[in-house]
A and B are shown apart, each in its own frame.
Chain A
């Protein structure tokens, strides 16, 4: 038995899963991503998925959650109670996972690579102690079905950049829930690139818990065929003078579907909070669909919250302008698609990762342009 050190939390999680069952489209948060329908009779299963950590940068500590006798830093952060059914499922049904720690004030310059692979459920825990910094490059392997429950804790003035590329996999069902707690002055920067799966969903719940805490989320998706890509976020400004930004861009062709559901909550007393949310989609064809739903819930005063969503198609006037200058149609379309997506890619701070994402994005754009 694994996560054996935390049997009571597993039992609580199991109760959450039991009472909710597999999420389906009649549940508001899963309206556009019917997990129950794609999983069919297999349901959630109880198989163990795997994790793999690349070269461990010096100073970073790793612990296998399948092992007994976890260190204190694991016990302090692992398996927080949750009402999120898939996060609970990963805890209740998983046989383990990985825990990583960057000690206080350690500035790790080499990116840390973490891959989740195989079928089933798996857990992740990443702790950045006060003043620590890290770039996390998350890899997503194809699998019939995988559910990752990932907890991230950022201490005071800790800084994490999280870059995740989800591959183009026609048959995979890949869901992941990231829950983050960010202390005073902590900074989380994340970019999610998605090329879609049978059903792909990246869900984030972010709590800004101390003065000056920041979260900057961005992402692009390029979808074709019958691919599906869902980004669902909930940013909670628990403390005043916190800042969050979100910028998601989608290019959707064929009969593919892009989903963005973003909720920002400014809690009572979190005065002076600042948030912005932008989600845009270009639909290339009559069968393509984008469901963009930014939402605001404000219980505080003196806050600045902006949100917007727009769905359109490629501008014919721009296309003609480029072609009239000698640029062939497919190339002109590619240029306009790149231009549309670029500002979300430009949000990636790490130069190598930005270049890597841009290269993959351009390759995908070329195929559908």
Chain B
């Protein structure tokens, strides 16, 4: 589903990713672990199409298509979803209005008919319940005054609503207490499917106790320096990044 080859990315002239390669198939859950500043968030933004990230070399192919050529909204309509580390607060736009606009924008780009307000509301309510997102949250301005946990739950609600083919979760565990983490992880696990690939980006092994990946990649200095099964997370936790990164070098 996703094929990244020799990816080099620079931000404001500074190279952050230095030849990253990664391949994910439908149905798989991959984790990317790495110390601060290793390029984890850069990778997630590049995949979602944020401006200011210059691809100087390499390629990203998504379902046989050059992902780089697509605008962020086109990527979303084609099934790419990024759950952000820091969801943006937008005063003046209610959460419900945002969800409806986003959902119908994606549908329109795929040539599907708009859902009416009642249809969207029904869909959102059904998904919101399991993620403990209240009606009151949906009426508030998008992410404004939301706690860290509420913001992350809303990201996962969007994931459930948009039903992406490729979901990227950027530090979804950051700022969550153990109960919130469990709730979010359950939400993510319920979305695991044979037609869906997931890329879980995290600093800590903790999240991977709940979302168990098929494959783990260790990112350091803009490259994948180690790969392995889920046991690699435990090794990282026990020995630290220094150990693994040092071995690779």
Contacts and interface: CB of A to CB of B under 8 A. Distances in A.
Interface of A: 315-318, 320-329, 331-332, 335-336, 338-340, 342-343
A332 B51 CA distance: 15
A286 B73 CA distance: 26
Nearest to B161: A325
A237 B93 CA distance: 35
Given A320-B50, A335-B93, A339-B93, A327 B102 contact: yes
Nearest to B101: A327
Interface of B: 48-51, 71-73, 75-77, 82, 84, 87-88, 90-93, 98, 101-103, 105-106, 109, 158, 162
Contacts of B72: 320, 323-324
A167 to B, nearest CB: 25
Contact of B76 (A317, A325, A338, A339): A325
B139 to A, nearest CB: 15
Nearest to B92: A339
A339 B91 CA distance: 7
B175 to A, nearest CB: 17
A222 to B, nearest CB: 15
B73 A328 contact: yes
Contact of A335 (B49, B51, B88, B101): B101
A324 B86 CA distance: 13
Contacts of B91: 339
Given A322-B90, A326-B106, A335-B93, 19 more contacts: A320-B48, A320-B51, A320-B72, A324-B49, A324-B72, A324-B75, A324-B82, A325-B105, A325-B162, A326-B76, A326-B77, A326-B102, A326-B162, A327-B73, A327-B102, A327-B105, A336-B90, A336-B93, A338-B93
A326 B105 contact: yes
B92 A340 contact: yes
Given A318-B90, A342-B92, A325 B102 contact: yes
B77 to A, nearest CB: 5
Contacts of A322: 90, 98, 102
Interface residues of B, dominant DSSP: helix
Which of A325, A326, A339 has the most chain B CB within a 10 Å cutoff? A326
A343 to B, nearest CB: 7
A323 B105 CA distance: 10
Contacts of A320: 48, 50-51, 72
Task: For the complex of A and B, list the 4 residue pairs with the smallest distance between their C-beta atoms, beginning with the closest.
Answer: A339-B92, A326-B76, A326-B106, A325-B102
19 contacts: A318-B88, A320-B48, A320-B51, A321-B84, A321-B90, A324-B49, A324-B50, A324-B82, A325-B106, A325-B158, A326-B73, A326-B102, A327-B105, A328-B71, A328-B73, A329-B71, A335-B101, A339-B90, A339-B92
A326 B163 CA distance: 12
Contacts of B50: 320, 324
A338 B92 contact: yes
Nearest to A331: B105
Which of B73, B76, B106 has the most chain A CB within a 10 Å cutoff? B73
A102 B49 CA distance: 60
Given A320-B72, A323-B71, A323-B73, A328 B105 contact: yes
Nearest to B52: A316
B120 to A, nearest CB: 14
Given A329-B71, A329-B73, A331-B101, A324 B92 contact: no
